[in-house]
Each structure stands twice: as structure tokens, then as C-alpha cells.
Amino acid sequence: MRGKILDYTTQIESLLTKLGATGRGMHEKLDSIEANIEFSMVKKIRWIATLRNKAVHEENFNTDINNFIEGANDVIDYLQALLIKQQAKNTNSTSGSDSNKSWKDKSNWEKAATIGVGVAAIAAALFISQN
């Protein structure tokens, strides 16, 4: 049971970090970006973080693991959707303005857009050269 709890909470902490959260634990990370998270999800993340801490520190810890997994999956789905929305917003607001980024620093969306523009340019050049 503790292993499952740690697996889920590690994934949640990773998503929080990708969303820009900072801090040492899930509570601190959530504090740093709480304004961007729906209140109902803030409560659920705090509940999950508290259960995680109990699982790690209390010898006779016990919880309804199915309820925990359901809540953790809700949070993971929510945070993944938020991350996708944030990445799309960042891509739209920076498209064309960050052409000096190195390839490794570009998001997958930026890489796909760069390749798409290149393919379109080659196709246009071939079309022009044939006419």
C-alpha cells in the first residue's frame, strides 16, 4: 500500500514541478502555485499530501487505498490537463518570438512547428522550381 501511495504522490509532485511549483514537499509546492489551481483540487492535493506523510512517518498507517487511488487519479488527470493548457498557452504566446532557443530547449510543440515550417518551405521551393 505504501508503495502505491509513493508512486502516485511522486507523479503528482512531478506534475506540480512541471507547472512551475517550488518547494521541498507537496504542501510547499502547492503553496507556490495554489492561485492557479481550483479550490476543490487544492483540497484534494492537500489530503493526498497528508496521507503520503502519514504513510511515510506512521508505523501503523492504514487508509482506504481504493479511495486514495481514485483521488490521486483525479488530481493527476486535472494537473495533466492544466499542464497541456499551460504549454499550449506558452507555445501560442512565444511562437516566432523565441527563434534563438536551442533545439533541446524547445518544447515538443515548438519542434513540431519548426519541422512543419521547414517542410512547407521545401514543398513551396519544389513547386516554384517546377513551374
| Residue 48 backbone dihedrals phi, psi, to 5 degrees | -65, -45
Three-class HEC string of the chain: CHHHHHHHHHHHHHHHHHCCCCCCCHHHHHHHHHHHCCHHHHHHHHHHHHHHHHHHHCCCCCCCHHHHHHHHHHHHHHHHHHHHHHHHHHHHHHCCCCCCCCHHHCCHHHHHHHHHHHHHHHHHHHHHHHC
Q: Could you tell me the residue range of the domain that residue 131 belongs to?
A: 97-131
What is the pTM (predicted TM-score) of this model?
Answer: 0.68
Task: Report pLDDT digits (tens) over 36-84.
Answer: 999 999 999 999 999 999 999 998 888 999 999 999 999 999 999 999 9
How many structural domains are present in the chain? Answer: 2
* Same domain? 75 vs 109: no
* Same domain? 74 vs 86: yes
Task: Report pLDDT digits (tens) over 99-108.
Answer: 567 777 778 8
* Same domain? 66 vs 119: no
